[in-house]
Amino acid sequence: MTGVREVRGTSVNIPTQDGSADAYLAHPDDDSAHPAVLFYMDAFGLRPQLKEMADRLAGAGYTVLVPNVLYRHGPAPVVELPDVIGADRRPALFEQLTPIIRELTPDLAMRDAGAYLSWLAACPQATDGPVGITGYCMGAGLALRTAGTYPERVAAAAGFHGARLATDAHDSPHLLADRVTAELYFGHADQDASLPPEQIERLDKAFTAAGVRHHTEVYTGAHHGYTMADTTVHDAKATERHWAALLDLLNRTL
């Protein structure tokens, strides 16, 4: 896919087993259907920054759905956010967000994922067939879980500055590796305490042992959250590297 297309973005609501998830849908502004991408938010949630990222992806020729995965606690933004999220605001924000995020158990998240995928399958702006997924921070784990839970529906999944992807927990995302049939890409930040080198190694070993097509890279000097331009950890160079890797994956698999 070449060129940047005009994009149309709208707010939508997705029926789930537990209510209705508010979401943002972006797609090329034409009458054609385009390959679908499920975009999983970071902890700060559905906000202008994520809508801008979805628009950029849609401009490359995709129909992109960004659900508020924390919809059980109300429409986005679930907590009030500053225009720029700096180190001084993070502790207070995570004090609010952490208990909310913990309530989104893997079982609930994957029940929701089924609803998101079904909605995309019926979406007139999306082509038939498997979808791609991209996820950020907590969304990287959701991307991996979705690829392992719905392998027949996911052709590609990418995760960027993911957190706790390969822990000792009995429900760690990496334990789904043997169920994944999608091609995977992960762009890790080397300045990221939430995914230390031993977890990166464990993740790669799980993918290799399961025969999963995958490529992982560690972005030197990048911090957790490096793709998010509305935060003070944003890294413009690493962000562009992420776009190149993501579009390469999606263009090849979708």
Domain residue limits, the chain? 7-253
pLDDT digits 0-9 by tens, 81-128: 999 999 999 999 999 999 999 999 999 999 999 999 999 999 999 999
Q: How confident is the model at residue 65 (pLDDT cuts 50, 70, 90)?
A: very high
Secondary structure of residue 125 in the 3-state scheme: coil
pLDDT of residue 1: 44
Cβ proximity of 222 and 190 under 8 Å:
yes
Token pair of 139 as six digits: 């969304």
- pLDDT at position 20 over 60: yes
pLDDT digits 0-9 by tens, 42-52: 999 999 999 99
Distance between CA atoms of residues 54 and 42, nearest Å: 13
pLDDT digits 0-9 by tens, 119-162: 999 999 999 999 999 999 999 999 999 999 999 999 999 999 99
- pLDDT at position 232 over 90: yes
* CATH number for the segment(s) 7-253: 3.40.50.1820
Q: How confident is the model at residue 2 (pLDDT cuts 50, 70, 90)?
A: very low
- pLDDT at position 4 over 90: no
pLDDT of residue 74: 97
What DSSP character marks residue 126?
B
Mean pLDDT, rounded, of the chain = 97
**Whose CA is closest to 20, among 66, 71, 73?**
71
Q: How confident is the model at residue 231 (pLDDT cuts 50, 70, 90)?
A: very high
What DSSP character marks residue 152?
G
Q: How confident is the model at residue 177 (pLDDT cuts 50, 70, 90)?
A: very high
Which phi and psi angles does 185 have, rounded to 5°? -140, 135
What DSSP character marks residue 34?
B
Distance between CA atoms of residues 131 and 167, nearest Å: 27
- pLDDT at position 171 over 60: yes
Dihedral of alpha carbons 247, 129, 66, 92, sign: negative
Helices 138-149 & 106-122, crossing angle to 10 degrees? 70
pLDDT of residue 3: 65
If one counts every other C-beta atom within 10 angstroms of the C-beta of residue 78, the result is 21
